[in-house]
Structure 1
Amino acid sequence: MVGWLVLACEVAFWVLLVAGLGLRYLLRMPRTGAALLLCEPLLELVLLAATVIDLRNGAEPQWYHGLAALYIGYTVAYGHYTVTWLDGHARHRFGDGTPPVRPPRYGTARAAHEGRLWLRTVLLAAVASGLLLLGTWYVGDAERSAPLTGAIRLAWRVAGIHGLIALSYAVLPRRAPAGEEREKALAGHRWPH
């Protein structure tokens, strides 16, 4: 049951997101669209409640219980970021907004951006691990709760890999191509009148 609910919540997340943005910008109903977007966290509460009920009713912990915790962790860490990013693009494309600011592409600014994204991934792993540790404690049997502890290891493995990638931007920063640096310099230079 929980495995299908994780899938249903993922689909519902995108359906609510598209519907909310459509109401805001295509149908010019910004408050209704915002209200629909604010319903997104309810999906995680439903998923969390269903997971707890499933385990309480004696279900054997499975990989999808771990996936539910990872999904909730993703929503906590990246949900607002994802909605804001897509809202900016929808506002520009269908509304009267300016183009969204792109993340920096080069140098220390890019390294800082990647570092902030990595911190979100650490938050994802921390939230998921907290939920999974609570689930392990609730089950009370280390052997039975192996899928839950496996999901904890997966979350931190992903955070570690993402950390190495983010660190690579700081250690070996990408430099702007020569033509692009020259254009920036000319655009910022004021010619005397």
Structure 2
Amino acid sequence: MGESLLADPLLWLIGAAEIAFWAFLVAGLAVRYLLRAPRLGAALLLGVPLMDVVLIVASVADIAAGGEPSPVHGLAAVYLGVTVAFGHSLVRWADARFAYRFADGPRPPRPPRGGTARMRHEWGEFGKVVLAWGIAAAVLCLLTLVGGGSLPAPAQWNDDPMWAWLARISVVAGIWFVAGPLWATVLPGSDELPGSDERRPERV
């Protein structure tokens, strides 16, 4: 079973998509800030979501061509959900740090550690988890319908090779909810004072 999964081209495509994501991201930011070519850097950054399109097209085409639904298809759906939901904020996170390090940009803000600011932050991050879950579920529905199957009930997700992945990320989402927004709402802590007097460290 494990060897057959490793021989699945879709699994290798998922790995290639992850590598391409970071390659386009680092290359785009390096060109923007190190080579001072913002237009070319922006063009390279457009390649970040490109592999998402390739992956979903490949997944649907594989099922439409008669491929049997497998855990790899489920993993592809989850990967798409996570990259779409978190990809933009990850790009902004990396961009802020490149700008700070190489273009004399402002210090990237730190996540709030307490109070209402932390609560809003945690709910916002959990919103991305919900978005990732929804995208993964939508892709799984699409793959199931294209393959001519029927949508399983939630109680049957663990018994389905593709939908078992949605059951897994549902558990992750539940843990994230308790450890993130729920905890920050019940025990918000105190608001931090603005770090306006925090000095910018000298670069060597």
TM-score tier after normalising by the smaller chain length: 0.7 to 0.9
Equivalence for 2:85: 77
- Aligned partner of 2:57 among 49, 72, 87: 49
Q: How many percent identity over aligned positions?
A: 46
Q: Which residue of 2 aligns with 1:64?
A: 72
Q: How many residues of Structure 1 are paired with residues of Structure 2 in the alignment? A: 179
Larger radius of gyration: 1
Retained in 1: the 8 A contact 2:32–2:38? yes
Once residues 141 and 43 of structure 1 are traced to their aligned partners in structure 2, the CA distance between those partners, rounded to angstroms, is 26
Deviation at 1:174, TM superposition (A): 3.2
Contact between 2:60 and 2:146, CA under 8 Å: does it hold in 1?
Answer: no
Q: Which consecutive unaligned segments of at least 5 residues does structure 1 have?
A: 188-193
Structure with more helix by fraction: 1
Matched, 1:158 2:166: no
RMSD of aligned alpha carbons: 1.9
Mapped to 2, the partners of 1:146 and 1:138 lie a distance apart of: 16
Q: TM-score, normalised by structure 2?
A: 0.81
Q: 1:1-40 counterparts in 2 under 5 A?
A: 1-40=9-48
1:168-183 aligned at under 5 Å gives the runs: 168-175=183-190
Contact 2:59–2:143 (8 Å) recurs in 1: no
Q: Which runs of 4+ in 1 moved over 3 A?
A: none
Distance in 2 (alpha carbons) for counterparts of 1:75 and 1:85 = 14
Measure how far apart 1:169 and its partner are: 1.3
TM-score normalised according to structure 1 size = 0.86
What is the identity, as a one-letter code, of the residue corresponding to 2:189? R
Structure 2: 5+ residue stretches without partners: 1-8, 153-158, 198-204
